[in-house]
């Protein structure tokens, strides 16, 4: 079974997409059935990544573009604390960013340096970061998407 076909991933994809639409007022993807949307999001040519609500939030989604960029696979990605996507010196800036998202629901102007699991550094630009909610309105974490990055 493909990652995007797993029921948990299909449900999470819907939370990501619905929360994006609600926060930003426009869709991240065209309307389709949930399985097709899960496939589209997983194979999108932009990064989509999210983390949960743990004290040290763990990544819980990364599409194929994210897996390629961070040079990892699904099983390793979903066990990784999201803070490890940034170098130690960038983590305080990242914490400020996430607080802005918590307070405002989303931001659409983030740029910063990230690091892959093999140590490759890259600059992301114009990232959108938003809060994720389930259908009951419960906060489930945060997600980000971006399509511009440059290796440093």
Domains of the chain (ranges; CATH) run 3-151 (3.30.450.20)
Q: Is residue 146 pLDDT above 80, yes or no?
A: yes
pLDDT of amino acid 14: 97
Query: Is the Cβ–Cβ distance between 76 and 66 less than 8 Å?
Result: no
Each residue's pLDDT tens digit, 24-83 = 999 999 888 999 999 999 999 999 999 999 999 999 999 999 999 999 999 999 999 998
pTM over 0.95: no
- In the numeric block, the tokens 């989303």 are attached to 106
Dihedral angle over CA of 75, 91, 23, 143, nearest 10? -10
What distances in angstroms separate CA 33 from CA 46, 50, 102, one per listed residue? Answer: 20, 21, 29
Looking at the chain, the number of H-run helices and the number of E-run strands are 5, 6
Higher pLDDT, 20 or 91: 20
């Amino acid at each position: 079974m493909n990652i995007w076909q797993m029921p948990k991933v299909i449900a999470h994809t819907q939370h990501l997409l619905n929360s994006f639409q609600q926060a930003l007022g426009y869709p991240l993807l065209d309307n389709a059935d949930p399985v097709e949307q899960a496939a589209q999001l997983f194979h999108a040519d932009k990064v989509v990544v999210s983390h949960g609500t743990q004290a040290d939030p763990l990544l819980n989604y990364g599409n194929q573009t994210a897996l390629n960029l961070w040079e990892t696979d699904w099983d390793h990605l979903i066990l990784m604390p999201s803070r490890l996507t940034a170098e130690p010196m960038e983590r305080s800036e990242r914490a400020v960013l996430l607080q802005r998202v918590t307070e405002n629901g989303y931001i659409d102007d983030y740029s910063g340096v990230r690091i892959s699991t093999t140590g490759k550094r890259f600059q992301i630009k114009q990232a959108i970061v938003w809060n994720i909610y389930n259908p009951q309105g419960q906060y489930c974490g945060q997600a980000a998407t971006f399509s511009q990055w440059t290796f440093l």
